A = this chain, B = another copy of it.
């Protein structure tokens, strides 16, 4: 099977994701991004769950918000591989409701070994990183 560079997940806003301003709480967008990222890993035949000594914590995450989402809105989360390093991978994410862009985000995961207090970055296992490739940006081509 080929390498994956992008994944699209359609999703509906759950009641418990809204706040008393009547819109989805901003913290949820980070979870939406993660849902699409993990679905992409599954589509690649992989799981992001900690395995043996290796896990994949994030070193950064950011979102810009352009429009609110509301209860029962249906929306798309598109996650793209933006960069692949020896021991890190960066994603870009777009969230849209139909033709309306709602938010754009980025996050970087790092491959680390060791637990509590002694984590250090290690190269991604080859059979894992070989499943992904950097997406061609919609602005390039």
Contacts and interface: CB of A to CB of B under 8 A. Distances in A.
Interface of A: 14-16, 18-23, 25-28, 30-31, 34-35, 38, 42, 47-50, 55, 57-65, 68, 70-72, 115-116, 119
Nearest to A47: B72
Given A15-B49, A16-B27, A27-B27, 5 more contacts: A15-B19, A26-B61, A42-B72, A58-B65, A60-B63
A29 to B, nearest CB: 8
A18 B60 CA distance: 18
Contacts of A68: 57, 116, 119
Nearest to A22: B20
A31 B14 contact: yes
A61 B62 contact: yes
Given A26-B30, A71-B49, A38 B15 contact: yes
A19 to B, nearest CB: 5
A15 B22 contact: no
Nearest to A62: B62
A60 B116 CA distance: 30
Contact of A21 (B21, B34, B57): B57
Nearest to A20: B18
A90 to B, nearest CB: 13
Contacts of A55: 21
